[in-house]
């Protein structure tokens, strides 16, 4: 297939063998009685040889194939993933669910986003140097087999995010149709469009993300202009912000940002190894943080204005974010509805990149799945997401809040362990990673230290959680500080556990 740089290469697919992509490749004998599966396989092989489908799975990218020089792709990828209406949905929670003023919500968004974006920005710099996907790097702390635990949790997290995005997109399409198209049908449309991009892989993904942000940004600016008068009619100031509300909303922001670190290097593995780490860090940080802050603050402003606008309130009471956006654009009439459709499709930038990482994580879940081509998991993913999204849409905001409140804990603990391994035991030097050992359980750590540290930290995290179904004794006084403690405590516990593990297993 064509490499990301456009060179023709011999590619080793995840199920073994070599896919020859030159013009001299031997064609299969024609068979008039081919089965449906055989015809599908032949069609996929044609796409692979044409260079449109990435066949490489989770195996580290060899140095000779890390040839991409266009570093700006890193910025456009994160920018396109973030310039959509999803951050607006999260921002609404600050003023509508946690009762914060627009000012207080904006300050929480600003501080927690600037803080937590450091994690994905740094881990993205390791992709070109190691050529390994993010969860493959985690094997150097969690081991060959026990890494399946965080991989499973990462799959659940990314799938959950995809469900949220599908519901928001489906709501937008339904709102435009004035009830003639159900949210469920809208979800199916969004799912099929996502399948096309995630199926093809790295090349098509980066090409799409390079331009997807342009119509998204234009549509959002027009929406703000149409709803500007309503946005200035803010609700009366609520009570002064209390620490529990601030920290609990901060937990929501962290739950949006931190999981990106669990897939950050998935998008940089094809860059040249000598690519500037400072440039990758800066592009990732700015591409992810800048639009997220601006759009979440816009969402907080919309949430603050909802009580003063009966039409918006009615749509919000139905858990229809798309309906609120449609109401904002109603002054533009028919053109406004067209823009709502564009806004729904802006979510594809986020969905496509997330789905791409999900297909890779499926291959890492258990050893036997490594033999299944990456692109086939994109079909499985859509088959899972469609029914789950339709169910979640029934009580959207409640389901979203409950989901978000959980994912920040495990991902913070995971990152505390991975970074402790990198900075303490690997001395922050990628040269201390034996890349050839990535799939060899006898050379990788056991993973017991990592798993034990991740699990035991919850003895402190659980009392610090503040959820609808549980508020711990610490959280009652401080608010939700679970994700901060998960990161710190897991990292600290990992140090003695890992020293002991190294003495016993010698690796």
- What's the pLDDT tens digit per position in 424-483? 999 999 999 999 999 999 999 999 999 999 999 999 999 998 776 778 898 888 888 888
Q: Which two tokens stand for residue 94?
A: 């600050």
CA–CA dist 130, 153 (Å, integer): 23
> Is residue 214 classed exposed, middle or buried when 0-12, 13-18 and 19+ CB atoms within 10 A define those classes?
exposed
Domain ranges in the chain with CATH number 1.10.4160.10: 68-408
The answer, yes or no, to whether residue 414 has pLDDT greater than 80, is yes
What is the pLDDT at residue 388? 86
Domain 68-408 annotated CATH 3.90.800.10: no
Question: What distance in Å separates the CA atoms of residue 85 and residue 328, rounded to the nearest whole number?
Answer: 13
Do residues 117 and 421 make contact, with C-beta atoms less than 8 angstroms apart?
no
Of all residues in the chain, the percent with pLDDT exceeding 90 is 32
Alpha-carbon distance of 40 to 404, in angstroms, equals 38
178 pLDDT more than 90: no
Structure tokens that stand for 395 in this block: 């009580």
Sign of CA dihedral 98, 99, 102, 104: negative
Separation of alpha carbons 454 and 493, rounded Å: 8
Is pLDDT above 80 for 396? no
Q: Mean pLDDT lowest for which of 136-150, 238-252, 278-292, 473-487?
A: 238-252
Output the pLDDT for position 333: 67
The predicted pLDDT at position 53 comes to 53
Q: Quick one: CA dihedral 147, 152, 156, 162, positive or negative?
A: positive
Percent of all residues in the chain with a pLDDT value above 70, rounded to a whole number = 80
Judge contact between 343 and 216, C-beta under 8 A. yes
Average pLDDT, the chain: 81
CA distance 222 to 498: 54
Q: Which residues of 461-470 are buried (b: 16+ CB within 10 A; e: fewer)?
A: bbbbbbbeee
pLDDT at 250 over 50: yes
Give CA–CA dist 56/215, Å, rounded. Answer: 31
pTM: 0.82
Q: Is the dihedral of CA 477, 478, 479, 484 positive or negative?
A: negative
Strand partners, 8: 2
The residue with tokens 């994109």 is 378
Distance CA 459, CA 324 (A): 41
In this predicted model, what pLDDT tens digit does every residue of 116-130 receive, in sequence order? Answer: 999 999 999 999 999
**Among 483, 498, 486, which residue's Cα sits nearest to residue 421?**
498
Other beta carbons within 10 angstroms of residue 137's beta carbon come to 24
Place of tokens 């994700």: 483
């Amino acid at each position: 297939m064509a490499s990301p740089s456009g060179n023709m290469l011999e590619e080793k697919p995840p199920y073994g063998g070599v896919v020859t992509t030159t013009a001299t490749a031997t064609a299969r004998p024609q068979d008039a009685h081919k089965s449906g599966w055989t015809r599908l396989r032949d069609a996929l092989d044609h796409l692979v040889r044409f260079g449109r489908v990435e066949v490489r799975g989770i195996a580290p990218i060899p140095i000779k194939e890390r040839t991409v020089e266009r570093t700006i792709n890193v910025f456009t990828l994160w920018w396109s993933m973030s310039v959509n209406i999803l951050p607006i949905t999260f921002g609404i929670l600050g003023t509508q669910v946690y009762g914060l003023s627009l000012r207080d919500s904006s300050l929480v968004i600003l501080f927690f986003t600037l803080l937590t974006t450091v994690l994905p920005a740094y881990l993205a710099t390791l992709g070109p140097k190691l050529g390994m996907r993010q969860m493959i790097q985690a094997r150097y702390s969690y081991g060959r087999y026990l890494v399946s635990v965080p991989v499973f949790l990462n799959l659940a997290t990314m799938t959950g995010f995809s469900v949220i995005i599908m519901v928001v997109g489906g709501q937008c399409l339904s709102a435009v149709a004035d009830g003639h198209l159900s949210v469920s049908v809208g979800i199916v449309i969004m799912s099929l469009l996502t399948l096309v991009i995630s199926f093809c892989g790295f090349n098509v993904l980066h090409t799409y993300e390079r331009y997807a942000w342009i119509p998204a940004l234009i549509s959002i600016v027009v929406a703000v202009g149409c709803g500007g008068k309503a946005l200035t009619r803010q609700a009366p100031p609520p009570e002064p912000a209390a620490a529990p509300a601030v920290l609990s909303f901060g937990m929501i922001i962290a739950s949006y940002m931190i999981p990106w670190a669990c897939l950050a290097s998935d998008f940089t593995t094809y860059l040249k190894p000598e690519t500037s780490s400072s440039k990758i860090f800066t592009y990732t940080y700015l591409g992810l943080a800048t639009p997220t802050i601006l759009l979440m603050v816009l969402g907080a402003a919309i949430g603050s204005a909802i009580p003063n606008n009966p039409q918006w309130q009615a749509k919000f009471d139905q858990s229809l974010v798309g309906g609120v956006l449609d109401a904002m654009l109603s002054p533009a009439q028919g053109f406004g509805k067209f823009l709502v459709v564009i806004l729904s499709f802006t979510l594809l930038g986020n969905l496509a990149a997330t789905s791409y990482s999900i297909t890779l994580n499926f291959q890492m879940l258990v050893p036997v799945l490594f033999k299944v081509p990456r692109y086939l998991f994109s079909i499985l993913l859509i088959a899972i997401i469609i029914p789950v999204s339709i169910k979640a849409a029934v009580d959207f905001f409640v389901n979203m809040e409950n989901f978000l409140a959980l994912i920040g804990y495990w991902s913070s603990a995971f990152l505390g362990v991975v970074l402790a391994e990198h900075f303490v035991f690997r001395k922050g030097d990628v040269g201390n990673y034996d890349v050839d050992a990535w799939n060899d359980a006898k050379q990788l750590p056991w993973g017991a230290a990592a798993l034990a540290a991740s699990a035991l930290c919850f003895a402190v995290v659980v009392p610090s959680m503040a959820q609808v179904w549980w508020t711990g004794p610490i959280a009652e006084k401080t608010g939700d500080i679970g994700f901060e403690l998960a990161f710190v405590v897991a990292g600290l516990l990992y140090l003695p556990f890992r020293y002991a593990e190294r003495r016993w297993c010698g690796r």
